[in-house]
Amino acid sequence: MIKSKYYIIILIIIFALTGCGYNQKPEVDLVTYQEEVNLDNFFDLKECILEYDFIIEKEYEDFSLNAEGKYDLNEDSKVDLIEIKLLGREESTIKINDSEISIYTDHPFDVYLVDLLKDDGFIELVIYDDGPSADPVTTFFRYDGKNIYQLGSLFTDIRMGDPNKVLTDGGGSFIEIGGLAKFIFPQIIKGLHTIEDNQLIYNPSDLSKYINKEYTITTDFKAFFIEENLRDDLTSQDVEFIWDYEVMSEFKKGETIKLIVHDEFWYGIELQNGTTGILYFWIGD
């Protein structure tokens, strides 16, 4: 049994990959719905960014960003006046016509527009925040002609593309970096986001369907690996993670592993030679 001395929060697996999207879906069983996800239907959300003509002023010393522009955000054939005043770690505001909301940013870096779902009647406003220590967060806002809604955030910069891109099916579903285990095949979809009632909702997968199956490693990589006997009820609180680069293990493309137990941020696996243990990645501070 693995003894726990402390609990470490790992943000996102470095090899994980990450719609144009608002869609009113009928109520369906989550597990059934996610089993039907076809990654061939997903593409880079970066493709949904629109051309825009905002006046943007940045001051890097005090982490401020001001932006002004006009755009028909709710597609009612009337141009909306957009005024954005962002000050890092201070109260900031977004004003669209006569509506205004207060938001918080740490290191505001950019403002742009994205069409999350074609023909749904909305163009979303995006605020990109570089975070306190290069911890990116992209936040989406929607204007319905009267109110401004903060839909939610994805913890990446969608303009970067690979390796941190967000995938969309163009129909209201999004897979963020960390929501997809890309280093193995078949890939594991750990969860996806949808927009419901003007909120970005995370829908975790039923990971049990991936257990006791074999997977092929798709690329050479190094990762942390702790040899350990595994049990079904193992959790992160039971694991004493080790962060010594000198003891990282090499994994080769074409090797197979068997998944025994799965947490959101690590994998309990059996290697080809029968050795069992915990595979995890270092992803920053």
SS3 content of the chain, % helix, strand, coil (to 5): 10, 40, 50
Question: Which of left, alpha, beta for 130 (phi over 0: left; psi -120 to 50: alpha)?
Answer: alpha
d(CA 66, CA 89): 15
Tokens 């050479």 -> residue: 220
Angle at 262 between CA 45 and CA 178, to 5 degrees: 20
Angle at 95 between CA 92 and CA 96, to 5 degrees: 155
pLDDT of residue 30: 38
Structure token pair of residue 208: 């049990």
pLDDT of residue 28: 35
Spatial neighbors of 74 by CB under 8 A, at least 6 apart, are 80, 121, 122, 123, 143, 144, 145
pLDDT of residue 36: 63
58, 64 contact by CB (below 8 A): yes
76: Cα separation from own chain's centroid: 31
Q: What is the largest CA-CA distance in the chain?
A: 66
DSSP state at residue 237: G
Tokens 């006791």 -> residue: 212
**Which of helix, strand or coil describes residue 32?**
helix
Tokens 């986001």 -> residue: 193
Order of strands, sheet of 184-185, starting from the edge strand that comes earlier in the sequence: 184-185, 214-217, 256-262, 267-270, 276-280, 221-227, 249-251
199, 152 contact by CB (below 8 A): yes
d(CA 40, CA 45): 14
Tens-binned pLDDT, residue by residue, of the chain (285 aa): 443 333 333 333 333 333 343 333 333 333 333 456 788 899 999 999 999 999 999 998 889 999 999 999 999 999 999 999 999 999 999 999 999 999 999 999 999 999 999 889 999 999 999 998 888 999 999 999 999 999 999 999 999 877 778 999 998 999 998 888 889 999 999 899 999 999 999 999 888 899 999 999 999 999 999 998 898 888 888 888 888 888 799 999 999 999 999 887 899 999 999 999 999 987 543
d(CA 157, CA 216): 29
pLDDT of residue 220: 96
The pair phi, psi for residue 56, each rounded to 5°, is -120, 130
Domain ranges of the chain: 30-207, 209-280
Which pTM does this prediction carry? 0.81
Torsion of CA 260, 262, 267, 269, to 10 degrees: 0
70, 83 contact by CB (below 8 A): no
In sequence order, the β-bridge partners of residue 190 are none
